[in-house]
């Protein structure tokens, strides 16, 4: 993990959860649809984030590359710490990966404690996406 610099032009984080070998196109289309639903332009995206057990997942890495943003991966413990801030905690996800949510938790972990969830988890067949935002900074 590294520190991402957020500013008023790039203040959004996309969290991605997906099954192993999820289609790059499926994940990219889900992210694009979520950004459109939230009214966030691709140029406003600062980072893509997920759980560390997906650190080599081609769909996540390719989506970050397509949006020209860095990708952060967090251990399950760090994502579990975000549970009080997520909208859709799941005992099923906890049983599988050790945290109550990946997409929402990863977006919030990437954005930091001042950020908030803009778009809760949305799903496709094999992936989930959520968007968090950093508050506007005074100039």
The per-residue pLDDT for range 66-75, each reduced to its tens digit, is 999 999 999 9
Determine the Cα angle at 113 with ends 107 and 114, to 5°.
100
Q: What pLDDT is attached to residue 124?
A: 97
Least confident of 60-74, 98-112, 124-138: 124-138
| Residue 17 pLDDT exceeds 80 | yes
Higher local confidence (pLDDT), 137 or 53: 53
d(CA 19, CA 57): 9
d(CA 59, CA 19): 10
Residue found under tokens 């650190």 = 55
- Dihedral sign (CA 102, 137, 71, 66): positive
- How much is the pTM? 0.94
Q: What pLDDT is attached to residue 121?
A: 97
By the 10 Å C-beta count (0-12 exposed, 13-18 middle, 19+ buried), 138 is classed as exposed
| Residue 2 pLDDT exceeds 60 | no
d(CA 46, CA 10): 5
Q: What is the pLDDT of residues 19-65, one digit of tens each?
A: 999 999 999 999 999 999 999 999 999 999 999 999 999 999 999 99
Q: What pLDDT is attached to residue 139?
A: 61
Q: What pLDDT is attached to residue 53?
A: 96
Helix (H, G, I), strand (E, B) or coil at 103: helix
């Amino acid at each position: 993990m590294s520190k991402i610099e957020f500013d008023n032009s790039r203040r959004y984080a996309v969290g991605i959860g997906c099954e192993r070998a999820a289609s790059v196109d499926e994940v990219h289309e889900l992210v694009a649809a979520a950004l459109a639903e939230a009214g966030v332009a691709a140029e406003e995206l600062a980072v893509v984030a997920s759980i560390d057990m997906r650190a080599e997942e081609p769909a996540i890495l390719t989506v970050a590359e397509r949006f020209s943003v860095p990708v952060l991966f967090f251990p399950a413990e760090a994502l579990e710490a975000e549970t009080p801030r997520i909208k859709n905690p799941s005992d099923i996800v906890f049983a599988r990966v050790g945290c109550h949510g990946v997409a929402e938790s990863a977006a919030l972990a990437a954005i930091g404690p001042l950020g908030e969830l803009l778009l809760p988890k949305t799903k496709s067949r094999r992936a989930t996406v959520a968007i968090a935002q950093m508050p506007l900074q005074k100039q």
